[in-house]
Structure 1
Amino acid sequence: MTATLATVLTASAAMADLQQGLSALEAGDYPVAAELLAVAADEGEADANFYLGRMLELGMGGAADMPTAVELYKLGAAGDSALSQNRLGLLYLQGEFVLQDYERAAELLCGSAEQGDANGQLNCGLLKLQGRGVEADAEGGIDMLKRAADQEHIGAMNVLAQALIAGEVAEKDEAEGLRLIQKTASFGNPVGLFSLGQAYVVGLGLDKNLVEAHKYFNLAAANGHPDALQARQVVEQQLEPAQVLEAQRAARIWRPEAVEPRSLLEAAETASE
């Protein structure tokens, strides 16, 4: 057997073990998942270190062990696992279980972004906009947000929408900002729902409609948006009782579009301040 063929077979076996490990994880069989993921990691599948780390971080199948999780993230990041780079980068950014280090955080998060990871793209984009760990670069930051938004990363779509509407760090484009808000709202995202309610209040790219605003603030409140209750109350004071009932009926029958869920294991925390 040639060295090249052996390498290919080993990589295939590692990928198979990784997929089987993730299937076991999805089924809640944590001991089997950990065993298969450990084999995949030993075979060189860098992402397996990330998933093992997340299991330890979240206490899946046993007690949480964050120090060991960090070491696994470091192993994964050294093997160019974009998932590991993103998680480890956030830890350096926050200074949790590692020394706070903005430059190292930016290196890891933007490395993850360049590999196409949507969470990494969002986080790298935020760092470029904030100038944390890297030179402030509004154009580069917006480009990263757009890359993540193109993958329908809801957080990136919301951040990008606000940037486009404000027109401070990106060229003003209210129509595109509204489109992104409508998209995230259609998924049932509380930020998107709240922002769409605001759009109806002021008539941003839409006819001003307080009944629709009440509906979306109601939906945002039901999904946990912290400012939606007060916003709904303010709008309600401007409506007739029959209009309030109309808005409530509309909220009651509203249904979100199906969206492919992102695993909690993928560490979707953001680099927002």
Structure 2
Amino acid sequence: MSIKHLIITMMAMMAAMAINAQTTTDVATILKNAQAGNVKAQVQLANMLLAGNGVKTNHAEAVQWYQKAANKGNLEAQFNLAYCYEQGYGVQKNLDEAVKWYTKAANQGNLSAMNSLGNCYDTGGEGFDKNYAKAAEWYRKAADKGYGPAMFNLGNCYYLMKGVDLDYKEAIKWWEKAAAKGNAAAYYNLGYCYMKGEGVEPNPEKAFSYFVRLADTGDPRAQFEVARMYQNGEGVAQDNAKALEYYTKSAEKSYPSAQMALGRYYDSGTIVEQDYEQAAKWYLQAANQGNADAQYNIGNMYYNGMGVERNYDEAFKWMEKAALQGHASAQTGLGLCYYYGNGVKKNKDLGREWINKAAIMGDDYAKQVLKKLK
């Protein structure tokens, strides 16, 4: 090690020691002031204990210090104490206490507390009943003062008829206000309404503009919608490369519909070179998340040995999962497994029963199979 390097290293070590000493001194001072009744120090100490910033994390002690400061009317302490009661940090979860302290903070003009009150009444919890009218009331108080999250939540109330009359136009009005404040969640809802024509005239171009703004923040749902719109040329020029790009982004974030779409691309050889192993990979990921189409497709690949080694046990497992979700083609496949004893003990009667269920649902292949089995 050179002399210059040694000096620089020693200086860095000395600086770190000085910082640690200063931190220790600061903590001691804050603790002393908090114990002396200084409200600002009590809140500061509670924040440190809650986050483990400069001290060992201790949620229970944090709650005690928040309580002291909150009792003296400190707004930040009231809000944070309410949050601890809502989440069960350092204290048993208690929505009544959370609402009590959120209300005190809200009455001091804290917009986040107003929105949190709305959330408590909106979702309810153990020992605390939902009250959609109160939820909408608190959301509105914060929304009227320009608080973006409350604008979004109030829009949801109008869309879902929670505490207010159903009104898509009002929902869109508040979502657009929230979107103008940068609320990303509002982009998806607006995109959906403009795509479906709920509360507005259908406008695929506008729908796409909202979806792509959210997609580019990394939201997998929006990425899927953007991919689908590129694939179909809906609201944007058809672009297979872009469709693949956004499907991949969404699928890599474990969005099952996108994983299913990618599986189909590789299965059919459209857009990408046909690759059954890749198809099976994406189908399996979507199947594990409960996607019935993917469960059927991966079951079919196991049944036929496409992209995976043939395995009737696995084929039966996935066909059954999809069939129990009402997937007609899977019901046919499950019926064939039973009929021929593939992956399960042979049971021709049960096989016919499943195939008949699929036929009743309109599955043409099931109808053909039934004719052959007679």
**Shorter-chain TM-score tier:** 0.7 to 0.9
Whole-Å Cα distance in 2 between the matches of residues 195 and 107 of structure 1?
33
How many corresponding residue pairs? 234
| Aligned counterpart in structure 2 of residue 21 of structure 1, from 97, 118, 126 | 118
Deviation, structure 1 residue 202: 2.1
Whole-Å Cα distance in 2 between the matches of residues 47 and 171 of structure 1?
44
CA contact (8 A) 1:37 1:52 kept: yes
Change (3 A) 1:167 1:43: farther
Q: CA RMSD in A?
A: 2.7
Q: What residue number does 1:156 align with?
A: 258
Whole-Å Cα distance in 1 between the matches of residues 211 and 343 of structure 2?
50
Structure 2 residue 228 is the aligned partner of structure 1 residue 88: no
| Aligned counterpart in structure 2 of residue 185 of structure 1, from 287, 296, 319 | 287
Whole-Å Cα distance in 1 between the matches of residues 162 and 328 of structure 2?
29
Q: What residue number does 2:47 align with?
A: none
Whole-Å Cα distance in 1 between the matches of residues 246 and 149 of structure 2?
22
Q: What residue number does 2:228 align with?
A: 126
Structure 2 residue 264 is the aligned partner of structure 1 residue 167: no
Deviation, structure 1 residue 134: 1.0
Whole-Å Cα distance in 1 between the matches of residues 321 and 138 of structure 2?
42
| Aligned counterpart in structure 1 of residue 212 of structure 2, from 84, 107, 110 | 110
Change (3 A) 1:236 1:92: same
For the residue of structure 2 that corresponds to 1:97, the secondary structure is coil
Structure of higher RCO (CA pairs closer than 8 Å, 6+ residues apart)? 1
Whole-Å Cα distance in 1 between the matches of residues 168 and 310 of structure 2?
50
Deviation, structure 1 residue 63: 3.8
| Aligned counterpart in structure 2 of residue 60 of structure 1, from 162, 187, 191 | 162
Change (3 A) 1:24 1:133: same
Which residues of structure 2 form unaligned runs of 5+? Answer: 1-109, 125-129, 351-374
Change (3 A) 1:240 1:200: closer
TM-score, scaled to structure 2: 0.55
Greater gyration radius: 2
Whole-Å Cα distance in 2 between the matches of residues 63 and 227 of structure 1?
41
CA contact (8 A) 1:190 1:225 kept: yes
Deviation, structure 1 residue 128: 0.9
Runs of 4+ in 1 over 6 A off after TM superposition: none
Over the matched positions of the two proteins, sequence identity in percent amounts to 25
Task: Describe the superposition over 1:154-182 as per-residue Cα deviations: whole angstroms up to 9, x where unpaired.
Answer: 22222222223323123444333322222
Structure 2 residue 181 is the aligned partner of structure 1 residue 79: yes
Which residues of structure 1 form unaligned runs of 5+? Answer: 1-12, 249-273
Change (3 A) 1:14 1:216: same
